[in-house]
Amino acid sequence: MLYRHILAAYDGSEQARHALREAVRIADAGGGTKLTVLHVAPVPAGFAGDMLFTPAVSPEDELQRASKLLKEAEEAARGIVRFKAELAYGAPGPVILEYARAYGCDLIVLGSRGLGKLREMLLGSVSHHVVQHATVPVLIVKKAGRR
């Protein structure tokens, strides 16, 4: 078994779907490898100095979306014996890293790009953050273009 515990970050984007398929493939080939899929939902509201930031969607809508995404992940990982889907709240990059550390994940798998280019430009890429700060191997999966 090459990896004992794989953490796959999943936000429902096309790149995340490709990353999830790759994580499932690796876990399936690992014979006993545990696969955890983690969806990180934004915190409902927050303060930065004197400014209050509120989400574009309601917490109820986000919870429904997260539930749908975790069901998608469960379906994609059907057949993986040691599987779990988790929901966390916060900034995706730090939350992914903290989860991997806390639960002894020895590989992190995520897509090269998530949902929304504007958010990536403003806040920085989650995959870039994870690669820069991870203490375990990180596999960034990019959908291959047409040839």
Q: For 97-139, how does the pLDDT look when each residue is reduced to its tens digit (9 = 90+)? A: 999 999 999 999 999 875 555 555 544 589 999 999 999 999 9
Contact predicate 9/40, CB 8 Å: yes
How far, in Å, CA of 143 to CA of 111, rounded? 8
**Which CATH topology does 5-112+127-141 take?**
Rossmann fold (3.40.50)
Domain range list for the chain = 5-112+127-141
Query: What's the whole-model pTM score?
Result: 0.84
Q: Give me the pLDDT at residue 50, please.
A: 64
pLDDT tens, residue by residue, 79-95: 899 999 999 999 999 99
In this prediction, residue 110 carries a pLDDT of 95
Q: Are 125 and 113 in contact (CB under 8 A)?
A: yes
Half-sphere exposure of 115 (CA within 13 A, CB side): 11
